[in-house]
Each structure stands twice: as structure tokens, then as C-alpha cells.
Amino acid sequence: MHEMSIALSIIDAVVTKARQEQSRKVSEIELEIGRVAGVQLESLKFCFSAAAKNTIAEGAELTIRETAPVGECQECGKSFPVSDVYAKCEVCGSLNVRIVSGRELLIKSITLE
């Protein structure tokens, strides 16, 4: 399951960070996920709480912020927000639009106690 492997890698990063900081508890994890990253947020939350059991991240609050995707027209170079991975350039009407952001999944911050 895609979301489970994402959840595990988040927990991995969080546990490493908590060890570095010699912390015993993680209170909050803030994620930034592009809307076209293909991640089911509800599923990710579920996988996260399952995977966090018996780790330092157990009970941590998962805050997810979705970011709007941005497309860049390969014909005229214009960048603009898009609602889907299939977008049309608003200037020249080209369908040759590359998604330049919106697929990322970042850990923005980890709050330790």
C-alpha cells in the first residue's frame, strides 16, 4: 500500500529527528502534500496512526496542508495554478503543460516535547 510506505518513511524521519534532539515525545508533525501527489489523505492518516503505534510518534498530531499544483506551459513558458494534472495553458491554449509542483510530499515541521 502506497500510503503505508509513506507513513513509514515519515515515522522514520521523525524518529531520527527525535533521537538527535534527545526527545521522548513527538506532539505534532506538519506535512505539506501537493494535491496531485496521488496520496489519499484519509488513508495516510489511518496508516500513520497504525504505523506510529509503539514508536515515539504514537499519538502525534498529523497536520496536513495541501498545496495547489502549478503548471508550466512548454510552448509559451507561462506558469499558472492548475486544478488537475491535465491542464490547458490559459494564455496560448496549449495542452503541453508540465506540472512543476504539486506532487511533492514534505515534512514541514516536527514538534518535539
- Applying CB under 5 A, the residues found at the interface with Zn ion are 73, 75-76, 78, 89, 91-92, 94
Of 28, 15, 14, 106, residue with least CA distance to 63: 28
What residues form DSSP beta bridges with 61?
28
* Residue placing its CB nearer to Zn ion in the complex, 38 or 77: 77
Residue 18, SS3 per DSSP: helix
* Residue placing its CB nearer to Zn ion in the complex, 57 or 73: 73
Q: Which three cell numbers stand for residue 87?
A: 491542464
* Residue placing its CB nearer to Zn ion in the complex, 10 or 73: 73
Rounded least distance, CB 86 to Zn ion, Å: 15
